[in-house]
């Protein structure tokens, strides 16, 4: 029991720290992008000392003056702040969180019904290999001559990410699969900082301080890595928060939905990147919004299809009434969803959902319907709910919801 309690603490603390570090990382990136794009023509005396652009801003009651140099300031600063620990600490806390939730509790969260990896140890190894091999492939690509063909390279990256989305949903539970795509892209991003951007900056500083010409090729490569990070940011954040959207990750075509959403989000980012360069192309934004609405409509259609038809004519061997449904919930849900769960690994009802009183589950019928019809619950089908039982519960819940809507 004590280790469950410790795991719960570890996961909430890591989640919290991960969020803080992630905000610092993404916040700093967005701030520097904004700075870069908002720089104004410097004043004359500044220009003489090599200032490329400057900007005034007010924040927290203080006035700030930022300057960006063509190359380096005439006098080297006593202290130069580097932005790297935001990235590293986000990655470290994310990795610890992954271990606390998905590796320590692999049977519950990482292994999923019908997935290729059924053994918890195999699933943990699969997770490590999935992420490390993905990073190796990316590093191989970005260090190859292919990177000089930027359009082809972008296409290869898109195909690579799409394949990983598909693969992830085959290997891991639905919830874990979206998270793994996020973890892979996040690791690639942290790798870009650690393996590419920071070493280049070190060489740059070294060259300038020793009066040598900085290496332009290295700078171009670092820029390319930073551009990839820019496009990955919003998709990664989507993957991380998708944990709260079982209606998306529990969908039978979840891999396709994930690919579409990541593509739409990255494409919308393109609008803002172009706008920063002074190119305003609203078609990109309109297309992104239209694609998103199309996707949402398709999902809604699938989701609500049963309600448009009359209740399905299914012949069950025993009547589907509240007594029968209650029996099914008792066997298949209450081990976890009770005030005092008996299933190992739980100290409180998960997601605060209690399944022991008809008055309560009648109220949250549609939430339960989503959880059951997507196959998300019972988690990993650990309680071995049969397809017939699932159909019975769905049938009953649909009738409940209809009578609720009807009167
Ligand atoms: C092995 C334990 C376990 C069993 C058995 C189980 N659940 Fe869950 N359930 C969970 C966990 C863990 C969560 C929280 C998951 C998350 O945060 O994504 C959850 C979340 C839910 C949610 C909330 C999902 C949402 O909308 O965010 C619903 C509804 C639910 N379960 C219904 C059921 C029903 C109905 C059954 C039985 C058919 C069931 N569960 C069986 C562990 C279990």
Q: What is the pLDDT of residues 279-296, one digit of tens each?
A: 999 999 999 999 999 999
Pocket test for ligand 1, best of 112, 368, 377, 393 (most atoms within 8 A of CB): 377
Contact, 370 vs 101, CB < 8 A? no
How would you label 89-123 residue by residue, b for 16+ Cβ within 10 Å and e otherwise? bbbbbbbbbbbbbbbbbbebbbbbbebebeebeeb
Pocket test for ligand 1, best of 15, 327, 371, 380 (most atoms within 8 A of CB): 371
Q: Which ligand 1 atom is nearest residue 368's CA?
A: 29
- Take atom 27 of ligand 1 and give the residue whose Cα is closest: 244
**Omega before residue 127 within 30° of 0, cis:** no
Pocket test for ligand 1, best of 240, 370, 378, 380 (most atoms within 8 A of CB): 378
- Count CB atoms within 10 A of the CB of residue 228: 19
- Take atom 35 of ligand 1 and give the residue whose Cα is closest: 368
- Around ligand 1, the residues with Cβ closer than 6 Å are 108, 175, 243, 246, 329, 332-333, 335-337, 343, 350-351, 353, 355, 367-368, 371-372, 377-379, 382-383, 385
- Count CB atoms within 10 A of the CB of residue 159: 10
- Count CB atoms within 10 A of the CB of residue 319: 9
Higher pLDDT, 8 or 15: 15
Mean pLDDT of 66-74: 89
What pLDDT score does 270 carry? 92
User: What is the Å distance from ligand 1's center to 354 Cα?
Assistant: 9
User: What is the Å distance from ligand 1's center to 352 Cα?
Assistant: 9
Give the list of residues 6+ apart from residue 383 with CB closer than 8 angstroms, or none.
331, 332, 333, 335
User: What is the Å distance from ligand 1's center to 56 Cα?
Assistant: 51
User: What is the Å distance from ligand 1's center to 334 Cα?
Assistant: 10
The winner for highest mean pLDDT among 68-77, 164-173, 271-280, 395-404 is 164-173
Q: What is the pLDDT of residues 90-124, one digit of tens each?
A: 999 999 999 999 999 898 889 987 899 999 999 99
Q: pLDDT tier at 310 (50, 70, 90 boundaries)?
A: very low
Q: Please say if the pLDDT value at position 148 is more than 50.
A: yes
User: What is the Å distance from ligand 1's center to 355 Cα?
Assistant: 10
- Encoding tokens for residue 244? 């709260």
Residue closest to 377 by CA, chosen among 402, 360, 394, 363: 394
Q: Please say if the pLDDT value at position 309 is more than 60.
A: no
Distance CA 24, CA 9 (A): 23
Pocket test for ligand 1, best of 179, 336, 376, 380 (most atoms within 8 A of CB): 336
What pLDDT score does 121 carry? 96
Q: Which ligand 1 atom is nearest residue 108's CA?
A: 1
User: What is the Å distance from ligand 1's center to 353 Cα?
Assistant: 7
Q: Which ligand 1 atom is nearest residue 243's CA?
A: 18
- Take atom 9 of ligand 1 and give the residue whose Cα is closest: 350
Q: Which ligand 1 atom is nearest residue 367's CA?
A: 29
Q: pLDDT tier at 216 (50, 70, 90 boundaries)?
A: confident
Higher pLDDT, 181 or 366: 181
End-to-end CA distance of the chain: give it in Å, rounded. Answer: 46
Q: What percent of the chain has pLDDT over 70?
A: 95
Q: pLDDT tier at 311 (50, 70, 90 boundaries)?
A: very low
- Take atom 11 of ligand 1 and give the residue whose Cα is closest: 350
């Amino acid at each position: 029991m004590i280790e469950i309690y410790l795991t719960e603490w570890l996961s909430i603390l890591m989640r919290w720290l991960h969020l803080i570090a992630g905000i610092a990382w993404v916040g700093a990136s967005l701030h520097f992008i904004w700075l870069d794009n908002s720089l104004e023509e410097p004043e004359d005396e500044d220009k003489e000392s090599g200032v490329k652009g400057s900007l005034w801003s007010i924040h927290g009651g203080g006035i700030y003056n930022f300057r960006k140099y063509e190359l380096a300031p005439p006098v080297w600063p006593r202290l130069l702040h580097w932005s790297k620990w935001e990235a590293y600490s986000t990655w470290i806390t994310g990795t610890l969180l992954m271990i606390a939730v998905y590796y320590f509790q692999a049977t519950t969260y990482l292994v999923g019904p019908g997935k290729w990896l059924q053994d918890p140890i195999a699933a943990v190894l699969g997770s490590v290999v999935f992420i490390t091999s993905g990073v190796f492939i990316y590093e191989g690509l970005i260090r190859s001559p292919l990177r000089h063909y930027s359009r082809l390279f972008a296409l290869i990256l898109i195909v690579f990410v799409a394949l990983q989305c598909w693969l992830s949903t085959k290997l891991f539970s639905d919830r874990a699969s979206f998270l793994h795509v996020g973890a892979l892209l996040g690791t690639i991003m942290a790798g870009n900082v650690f393996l590419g951007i920071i070493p280049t900056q070190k060489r740059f500083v070294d060259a300038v301080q020793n009066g040598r010409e900085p290496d332009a090729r290295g700078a171009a490569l670092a820029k390319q890595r930073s551009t990839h990070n820019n496009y990955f940011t919003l998709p990664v954040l989507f993957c991380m928060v998708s944990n709260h959207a079982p209606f998306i990750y529990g969908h039978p075509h979840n891999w396709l939905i994930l690919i579409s959403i990541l593509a739409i989000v990255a494409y919308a980012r393109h609008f803002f990147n172009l706008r920063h360069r002074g190119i305003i192309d609203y078609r990109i934004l309109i297309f992104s919004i239209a694609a998103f609405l199309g996707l949402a409509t398709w999902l809604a259609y699938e989701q609500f299809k049963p309600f448009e038809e009359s209740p399905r004519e299914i012949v069950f061997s025993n009547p589907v009434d509240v007594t029968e449904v209650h029996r099914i919930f008792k066997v298949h849900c209450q081990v976890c969803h009770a005030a005092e769960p008996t299933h190992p690994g739980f100290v409180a009802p998960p997601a605060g959902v209690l399944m022991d009183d008809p008055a309560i589950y009648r109220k949250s019928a549609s939430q339960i319907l989503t959880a059951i019809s997507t196959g998300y619950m019972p988690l990993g089908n650990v309680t071995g709910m049969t397809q017939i039982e699932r159909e019975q519960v769905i049938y009953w819940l649909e009738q409940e919801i209809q009578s609720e809507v009807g009167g």
